[in-house]
Chain A
Amino acid sequence: MERGSNFPNAANAASTMATATATTPTSTTTTATAAVPPKRKTTMELVQQRFKSDEEVQLIFEAYQIIGQEHVEGLLTLVSSSKGGTYALVSFTLLRTPLTVSNDLKINKVFPINKSFQLTKDAKSSITQQQFDLSTDDERPIKYYYHPIKTDMESVDYEEFVAHIYSCKKSMSSAETHEEKVLNFRWLDDYREIGEVKQELKKRESQYIVYRDITIYCATWNVNNRPCWENTSSLQPWLARGENAPHIYAIGLQEFETITKIMMLNSNQLQMYTSQWIRKMMENLHTENGIEYEELMSVRLSGIILAIIVRKQLRPHILRCCIHKVPRGFLNAVGNKGGVGVSLQLNEANLCFINSHLPAHMENITARNEDYGIIENDMRFEEEGRPFRTISDHDHIFWLGDLNYRIQEPPGYQRPGPMSDASTFEQLLQYDQLRNEMRHDRCFRGYMEGDIKFAPTYKYDVDTDTYDTSEKQRAPAYCDRVLWKGKRIEQLDYNSVMEIRQSDHKPVYAIFQVQIKTRDEAKYKRVQEEVLKAVDKRENDNQPQILASKTVIDFGLVRFNEHSTRDFNVYNNCSQQVDFKFKVKDAPINDICEKWLRVDPCSDSLMIDSERSIQLRMLVDPNSITGLLRKMCTTRGKCDFDILILHVESGRDIFITVTGEYQPCCFGLSMETMCRTNRPICEYRQEEIKELMNDVSPEYRVTMPREFFLLIDYLHKQGDRLRGIFQSYDRRKALSAKFNDVRDWLDTWSEAEFPGTPETAAEALLLLLDLPDQALLEPFVKDLLISKSKSEAMELIALLSPPKRNVFMHLCMFLREGIERHDYELSNVASIFGRILLRSSEYAMTIDYANRCSEFMRRFIYIETSDAIVGGNGHGGATGPSLQT
């Protein structure tokens, strides 16, 4: 629990945690006796493995998450860094339970415990299930759940967890404010996920976002159920105000037909009515040279219509248009009241337009507020495959309509004067219900409205500018309004239109200048390139890497049947745990290394900053010599013993070259090669013997290999001592202790006495015959296996290369003598030698292969009486030189 002095005031938190962590592991290290295989690592130890040596896991807490429908097991771990002097919560997902290796822990989120860090208990928590949110910086909070049933002894319970986190947070935030230093969380970068391009781009938004001015024209009119064809006068006074042609029109109508009529009309007729109105609107827009408009989208709910009309050139920049309706009114469902909305994206900005008709009558303030609330809440713009948008998800919101709020004058209040004077409006507006309700936050929270410098828009006698003279004598009111919400909106104009008189309402319009968030494409492209580069760089830099202490492993002089080992280290020098393994090589090897090598371990995980020793063990023995010599012969230039592929999981491969010098030895060499030597084999170097092996000329220095001759000669002289040899032969069997002495005796052409016993000599003889790449009787093995008689076989034997032929004949003579003397058993010898001399992987699987081999040998080493006679008739001379030569 050592920590640098730069650790800010965390002594308290740290000491409480020390006890928490120190006590728990002891309770789990229970009865580990010697008989128990390697102790399983505790969760704490496994978690600690995921961090560097100067980072310490303070506590672990079992919390799960719900992702989609799935319950995902996880661990929250409090980690301190002595280098950074800070704490963080690291959230892990458990890929497998129970945990056995640290790789089963996957980091899914990192929460630096800084000033903005929050642990918020969820109100839905219960005794059986705690819920809480974690958040830092500007990121969305993430929900975690906890069941108070611990599965791991080391983990803390909820209260303990919360207490620790709070005390850490307290010490961190006081360090931040008092010492005025920025807390160092850079160590956490190694555990964060590689930033995604989209997120990165969002972060750098300021570098490529520009704001472009556009004009938005909002207009609203309660048309009092008057069909538009009765509206012969121009709507231009309503829709073509302001200096410039706007970019977007949002035009709302209310009561475009009576509810009874609407219910009688079929959908085609309704569509026609709506279209007529929209056509009428289109005919009365601003006219400016070169500017054409088109209807982007319109929506109708009963008598409420909202049409969005845009400049044609703007159309390609508009995306994700959608509409929604919230019916209110009769039974809260008919839709004679309610709201309609259009949502759209223009460049990088989200715009929303709402047209609503709220409940009428002076006293219905609450009903209006309620309907507003319901429209605000229930308006959901849905698109397939995306989360829906609510009104407040938009950057710029425009709400227009007949909101029906009235002027509630105190009893006995005398209207201050003619309805044309600005001061009159100001006085009246003091009693405006909407303003009053907004002031008290009872509706349209966050919305703005411009100054009203026009007369109440309701209620007029139709076709006049006179307020209601009917019996009802409705008080004038500002029913028709335009509100907005959002940044970078400036209202240019807000007015009613007196000269349009077809309705008991006057139309209202408002003109806005809005700064629309827009991507500067050139800048964006540049930023995107930079981001891609940065993300690539991070990926390249974070590639798991290990260092190998050596890439060339030199075994020095390697001798037959002597093993040697070499070590090298692999070291994890990157910032994450690394898994490595030796790759299995392609056919024909199909293994991580050649037969004469062993690698241990073949794979492992390396924690950060840790090292592992790899041992290579080399042994050229009867099972591998043939392969090694073949490889030497076929490799151009100097032959390496092997090249291992050290593979780093999701990283690079390192080639480990295993090299050295093979000390040539008679075992494994062909009879021909041995007959080409002019000095003891031990005096040859690898390259020289390779040359002899690849020599195909028919010139030989001796008739048969001296090494073979010496062995036969020794055996021949042993007389009785040969009794019982050649019982069995197995190439895979461990060689006898004296074998290497025999090897040296042969390889040095030693004049000394044979260093072994008849058994070692027999062993050496069998290996000398068996180990060459080609069986002694090749290339005639196939024909000899099917040969029917000795004479037939002899014809083929005569065609063998002289060294092979001589070895064969000499061997047969020697064996025959032994059999005649009953030193060893005919059937054993025939079987053992037959299979060696006629070795064939191709035919070894045929049914009577073993029989045929024995049969063949028998013909050459057993002299029946009749054969003896034949032999006596002079054929014996053909069997080669006498042993006494």
Chain B
Amino acid sequence: MAKKTYDLLFKLLLIGDSGVGKTCILFRFSDDAFTSTFISTIGIDFKIKTVELRGKKIKLQIWDTAGQERFHTITTSYYRGAMGIMLVYDITNEKSFENIVKWLRNIDEHANEDVEKMILGNKCDMSDKRVVSKERGEAIAREHGIRFMETSAKSNTNIEGAFCELAEAILDKTSGRESAENTERVVIDRGNGDKAPGYNKCCA
């Protein structure tokens, strides 16, 4: 009964080791709030947020996954529907960064082939505890040809920017597809158009 209040719906997924701040990133983005108490996500939560990009209202449905190791197998079944994946590590946690490779492999195995990916180095406000340099983050992203940003849910750094960039990348892909369809249609039209003058000539 309710009418559609958006133009496009994008499904995004947040993955990464436990405790890197996935839920906080989502909470900051959707509710513009932050809490430092750690509550482990046991399952899959989602929030929606509508953003306007290039005049289009885009409803983002963002799935926040449990990061705990015991849930890794089960969370991979959620990769399939995602159009964009945020892969989050914690710049103060070496292990979470090392696991990026493992998470990327997981994406390759379970997600749609054309899924848009982005790596986020979270907690960039904690410079005194930093163990992963920004350069290393950039390097791994470059190596895999995907986007990268350092974020902080606490200080609200790059959170909105990251989601918008990912959404925009998906939008590019979708509109790219649309225009491809349009060109096809044009070609067909031209085919008909070519015939028409000939027919007219015969009549005349």
On A, residues with C-beta under 8 Å from B are: 106, 108, 193-194, 196-198, 528-529, 532, 535-537, 539-540, 543, 551, 585-586, 637-638, 640, 643, 645-646, 652-655, 657
Contacts and interface: CB of A to CB of B under 8 A. Distances in A.
Contacts of B131: none
Nearest to A651: B46
B102 to A, nearest CB: 12
Contact of A536 (B1, B3, B49): B49
**Interface residues of A, dominant DSSP:** mixed
A197 B69 contact: no
B48 A540 contact: yes
B69 A637 contact: yes
Nearest to B47: A540
A652 B30 contact: no
Given A540-B48, A652-B44, A197 B5 contact: yes
B31 interface: yes
Given A196-B3, A645-B74, A536 B30 contact: yes
Nearest to B66: A655
Interface string B47-83: 1111010000100000000100111001001000000
A329 to B, nearest CB: 44
A654 B2 contact: no
Contact of A585 (B5, B46, B74): B74
B146 interface: no
B94 interface: no
B52 to A, nearest CB: 8
26 contacts: A106-B1, A108-B1, A193-B1, A194-B2, A196-B5, A198-B5, A532-B50, A535-B5, A535-B50, A536-B30, A536-B49, A539-B48, A540-B47, A551-B43, A585-B74, A637-B69, A637-B70, A638-B70, A652-B43, A652-B44, A652-B45, A652-B46, A653-B43, A654-B42, A654-B43, A655-B66
**Interface residues of B, dominant DSSP:** mixed
Max count, chain B CB within 10 A of own CB: residue among A194, A196, A655 = A655
A196 B2 contact: yes
Contacts of B47: 540
A312 to B, nearest CB: 25
A528 B57 CA distance: 11
A108 to B, nearest CB: 7
A540 B59 CA distance: 12
Contacts of A539: 48
A551 B42 contact: yes
Contacts of B2: 193-194, 196
B161 to A, nearest CB: 16
Contacts of A638: 70
Nearest to A586: B77
A645 B49 CA distance: 25
Contacts of B1: 106, 108, 193
A24 to B, nearest CB: 30
B28 to A, nearest CB: 13
A450 B57 CA distance: 47
A387 to B, nearest CB: 16
A655 B42 contact: yes
A545 B45 CA distance: 10
Nearest to B69: A637
Nearest to B45: A652
Max count, chain A CB within 10 A of own CB: residue among B3, B42, B44, B66 = B42
A194 B5 CA distance: 11
Given A108-B1, A585-B77, A536 B48 contact: yes
Contact of A643 (B45, B46, B70): B70
A532 B48 CA distance: 11
B87 to A, nearest CB: 20
A652 B43 CA distance: 7
A789 B150 CA distance: 71
Contacts of A537: 31
A657 B70 contact: yes
A683 B50 CA distance: 59
Contacts of A528: 52
Contact of B43 (A535, A543, A640, A655): A655
B30 A540 contact: yes
B5 A646 contact: no
B89 to A, nearest CB: 20
A248 B127 CA distance: 63
A196 B3 CA distance: 8
A637 to B, nearest CB: 7
Given A532-B57, A586-B77, A653 B44 contact: yes
B6 to A, nearest CB: 8
Contacts of A645: 43, 74
Given A106-B1, A196-B2, 19 more contacts: A193-B2, A194-B2, A532-B57, A535-B50, A536-B49, A537-B31, A539-B48, A540-B47, A543-B46, A551-B43, A585-B77, A643-B71, A643-B74, A652-B45, A652-B46, A654-B43, A655-B42, A657-B42, A657-B70
Contacts of A529: 52
Nearest to B42: A551
Contact of B74 (A197, A652, A655): A655
Given A196-B5, A551-B42, A586-B77, A655 B71 contact: yes
Contacts of A198: 5
B99 to A, nearest CB: 13
Given A535-B50, A539-B48, A637-B69, A646 B43 contact: yes
